[in-house]
Structure 1
Amino acid sequence: MDLSLAVEHWARSAPDRIAVASAKEELTFVQLMLRAQVLSAHLRRSPGLRVGIRTQDPVAMAVGFHAAVLAGKALVVLDPAWPQELLTASARRLGATSVVTDPEQATVLQALGFSTHPVPVDATDPLRPVRPASPERELLVICTSGSSGEPKAIVRSRGSWQESLASGAAILGAVPAAVTLCPGPISHGLGLYALVESLHTGGTLLASGHWNTETVHTLLGRYACTRIVSVPTIIQRLLDTAADGSLASLDTVVSGGEPLPAPTVEMIFAQTPAAACIEYYGSSEHSLIAYRRRWPGETPGGNFIGMPFPGVKLHIHRGEQSSPEGAIFVDSPFNASGYDSSGAVSIDRCGSSTGVGDLGRLLADGRLELLGRGGAMLNLNGNNVHPGEIVQAFARLGLADIRIRMVSREGKKTLLAYSCTDPQSGPELAGRLRELLPSYKIPRELVFLDRWPLTASGKIADAELTDAFVPGLAKVPLR
């Protein structure tokens, strides 16, 4: 069903059902529809096809997204974690000169030269019929990490998201009776998709906007959560901190971004009444690609192996003809149009299929085994991070000789930076990095080495840049 018609249907058939709730506010479907109508009228008068949105508030994101759908605008999602320099450059490059935002952020954005659209706090106009736009019309521009300091802007059509919702909702447990908790960022791919998925299927979304233990506990204390959608690290935090009985209604756990550790799967089934745990693999460029069900008693480790979602066709570009593995190419109605033409990169194409550097192989039974990502891309707690972007930020601060590694500390992934230069002041360096990078891309520490570990051929041995290699040398905390 068309996105605008779906929300209108729920606003008329179940007007008092809660559509989205934060710790501060809840919105019924009819309230969501009415507020989106008011905002859409303002957006229609805004010049250009695109309008930005910058918010951590789930209610504001729901109203802003649906207002853009009603207005026929494309919504450029601007990450609240971006520093001002990146925000300004990206928004202007993508043609988002006006931005939907919260009142407290409006002054800052106006000072940067943007016009702003506040999210209405009330609406009294009657509910009006909607006119759906063409499925080919541009709906979203979602920015993700790239191999340079400029995020890659992915363009999605209305039809691509509507097709993915129709194919994936039942598999992922998105039904009208679902009360879904999304305890992570609402402006990132997984959280944004969970929001739209819940609105489209008539469910209720409980969201914190970002991980906050107190906020999540408040939501669990007020509502009977039946479904959780998040990345493995946040799911684990939730299990570790949830109060007794707060997950007594849980039926389904959905995880994305990276594989769930087997001990986390055990905890899901041991500590909650959940009957299903579904893990899926996708990308912002492709939406849903493959999924698998997880069960207690699994052996630890191993790669993701899953069945393609209905409608998804896969093939492999082998590096060597004798090898069954290579780059994954995806052909499905969910695929994004590609990267925005204002950027310096273009998506890899093979006919109607596209690839983003993920590696894998197809098994005899049709399942896909995921082997990782080429191009040195790292997946940190569900966020794609390219070391080159971090290295460039250090270079702008005069530290050109930097290596980035992802390590595990006390069972949690974290980034470390290494240098063979003279030690520098940590607080000053950390402050300057915050002007260039979102907080999750700033390494935990910068380690100053006397020498690089080398391979037999004299190259730097990145694999040896672990905590074990550093015997009490200078370490500067960066966050």
Structure 2
Amino acid sequence: MQNQGIGTWVQRRRERSRTDIALVFRDQSITYGELADRIDRLASALADRGVSAGDRVAYLGNNHPSFLETLFACGILGAIFVPLNTRLAPPEIEFMLEDSGATTLVTQEELTDLARAGAWSTGVTRRINVGGPPATHHEQYEAVLASATGSGPKVAVELDDPAIILYTSGTTGRPKGAVLTHGNLTWNCFNALVDYGITAKERVLLISPMFHVASLSMGALPVLLQGGLVILHEKFDPGAVLTTVEADRVTMLSGVPTTFQMLQEHPDFASTDISSLEHLTCGGSTMPERMLQAYEERGLAFSCGYGMTETSPGATAMPPQMSLKKMGSSGIAHFFTDVKIVDEQGETLPPGEIGEIWVRGPNVIKEYWRRPDATAEAIVDGWFRSGDLGHFDEDGYIYVSDRLKDMIISGGENIYSAEVEAIIMELAPIAAVALIGVPDDRWGEVPWAIVNLKPGAELSAEEILDHLRGRLAKYKIPKKVEFIDELPRTASGKVRKAELRKRYGMPAGS
């Protein structure tokens, strides 16, 4: 039997790069040989504990070697890896564990309380803690590895087999599990290798969490595939990033505009030697001109791209030399990916005309986890309907102009209006609510709740926010609540959010 999936990548790398450093974490360096051996032992130990092909193994933690070890061990077994956002609230974690059907949860010790609260009523029967002492209610990660009796079973894994379930919030208020296959991840890496020129000499510093697909699929995976070096930072700290870039001669950084802005605004930015950087990739939203110019002055150019979880995530990429010339654009379609702009009937539109962005390619998901309804709505004849609006210019460069799904992107995190609105509407005094994104200098945009109370009802902004705290991630909670006598609506009764965004579209806090 042959495993064609990503699970064998490090093992194949061991044959070619055994003594080369694969990972650096804190003061620890791990070679490809050592990493492959640890993955083998983890796969064997998980198999001994009943994990087999198709089973879901969840991971709750920040950037750490165990994240990648668990991912690749799952790939060896044909199991499905389910990374969870550490910023979520317990009810959100609970839903994802229950929906995915995960029975094993690997978590970092410092997140034990969140893991316990999120998993207590789900089908999780085994928890493995990374770090911390042994306990009666969970196993300790290193002890699990030490218990391995072999290198794990030989499982046939095809490129079309599911590798990861990544949850992305939906317009109905319930997250959907995007099923990324081994082929999706592989072809996304091919796109990155071709369009970014990633080589074995790469030294990538991961400044964004790997539970986001961009950090994992555009940073860690293509560099490991090529035999390069991956440096893991647990959390983003601008000063620590600048120190690492200079000391370790980092060649590649990937982030969102907010992270690059915080780096540029740090007092050490001007004095730090960043000449080793060759690849700066940015997604999530358009990079402001002043930021592009600040880095250009240091001899660096960005490759800003457009994508989403469902495209693994790359759909388009900007050639760095075109960043200033094509200001505001998200580049051209990735090498092995097709992108088109269509009207409401699905007909392709010519350059200059705004329509919905559709994406097709081997990096595009085939389904949402156990959601055939959502899959049928999102995928038409192999094309993924992004729900985003944009247009091409005459040179084939795409410009993203708006979001049909009312998604708010705050500091690189996706916030879907319907999810937050549904919880706010649980409060009896509220007649209607609309969540909108308001521009913010640091986070790009932040959520505001525009609330219409029932006649004679009383409710304070603080009471609304208290209702949300503990149930939603902090970044999803509105930064401000505005009360309004009546929400503007269309003739069909839909809220005119564009009008609200125009009305309240001043910098937050002003």
Q: Which TM bucket (shorter chain)?
A: 0.7 to 0.9
Determine helix, strand or coil for the equivalent of 1:169. Answer: helix
The corresponding residue for 1:475 is: none
Task: Tell me how far 1:264 sits from its aligned partner.
Answer: 1.1
1:38 to 2:44 alignment: no
CA distance in 1, matches of 2:481, 2:116: 36
Q: 1:153, CA displacement in angstroms?
A: 0.8
1:351 paired residue among 381, 386, 410: 381
The Cα of 1:132 is off from its aligned counterpart by 6.3
TM-score, normalization by structure 1: 0.86
Name the structure 2 match of 1:373. 403
The counterpart of 1:401, out of the listed 400, 416, 432, is 432
- What is the DSSP-based 3-state SS (H/G/I as helix, E as strand, rest coil) of the residue aligned with 2:482? strand
Pick the aligned partner of 1:250 from 268, 277, 290. Answer: 277
Aligned 8 A contact 2:60 2:106 in 1: yes
Q: Which deviates more from structure 2 when the two are superposed, residues 211-220 or residues 435-444? A: 211-220
Q: Is the 8 A contact 1:186 1:207 kept in 2?
A: no
Aligned residue for 1:27?
A: 30
Between 1:214-223 and 1:170-179, the stretch displaced more is: 214-223
Query: Aligned pair 1:116/2:156, yes or no?
Result: no
Once the two structures are overlaid, the 10-residue window that deviates more, 232-241 or 122-131, is 122-131
Classify 1:41/1:214 alpha carbon distance in 2 versus 1 (closer, same or farther; 3 Å). Answer: farther
Is the counterpart of residue 462 in structure 1 residue 497 in structure 2? no
Letter in 1 for 2:22: A
Give the direction of change, closer, same or farther, for the CA distance of 1:456–1:443 in structure 2 (3 Å limit). closer
Shift in Å at residue 328 of structure 1?
2.4
Q: Which amino acid aligns with 1:403?
A: A
Shift of 1:11: 2.6
What per-residue deviation string (whole Å, max 9, x for no partner) do you get for residues 16-35 of structure 1? 33323333644332222122
1:286/1:180 CA distance change after superposition, 3 Å: same
1:295-347 CA-partner distances (Å, limit 9, x unpaired): 58937964x25221122223333137796432222221111122112586224
Letter of the aligned partner of 2:80 in structure 1?
A
When residues 400 and 392 of structure 1 are mapped into structure 2, their CA distance, relative to the original with a 3 A threshold, is farther
- Deviation for aligned residue 1:250: 1.4
1:298 is aligned to 324
Alpha-carbon spacing, 1:127–1:216, altered in 2? closer, same or farther (3 Å): farther
1:80-99 alignment, distance < 5 Å: 80-99=86-105
Amino acid aligned to 1:465: R
Following superposition, the deviation at residue 41 of structure 1 comes to 1.6
CA deviations 1:104-140 (Å, max 9, x no partner) are 4356535633321345448688996976621121101
Equivalence map 1:317-332=2 (5 Å)? 317-319=342-344, 324=350, 325-332=354-361
1:192 aligns with 2:241: no
1:146 to 138, 145, 170: 170
Asked if 1:136 corresponds to 2:136, the answer is: no
Which amino acid is 2:362 matched to?
P
Instruction: Answer yes or no: is 1:226 the counterpart of 2:244.
Output: no
State the partner residue of 1:424. Answer: 460
Between 1:174-183 and 1:218-227, the stretch displaced more is 218-227
Equivalent position SS for 1:357: strand
CA 1:396–1:268 in 2, change beyond 3 Å: closer, same or farther?
Answer: same
Change (3 A) 1:160 1:323: closer
Q: Aligned-pair RMSD on alpha carbons?
A: 3.4
Q: Is the 8 A contact 2:246 2:274 kept in 1?
A: no
- Offset of residue 214 of structure 1: 5.1
| Cα pair 2:438 2:507 within 8 Å, conserved | no
Amino acid at match of 1:95: G
356-365 vs 194-203, which moves further: 356-365
Deviation at residue 389 of structure 1 after TM alignment: 1.3
Once the two structures are TM-superposed, the CA of residue 2 in structure 1 deviates from its matched residue by 5.0
State how far apart, in whole Å, the 2-side matches of 1:297 and 1:62 are. Answer: 32
Residue identity opposite 2:478 in structure 1: P
Q: Quote the residue 1:8 is aligned against.
A: 11
Unmatched runs of 5 consecutive residues or more in structure 2: 131-140
Q: 2:184 matched to 1:160?
A: yes
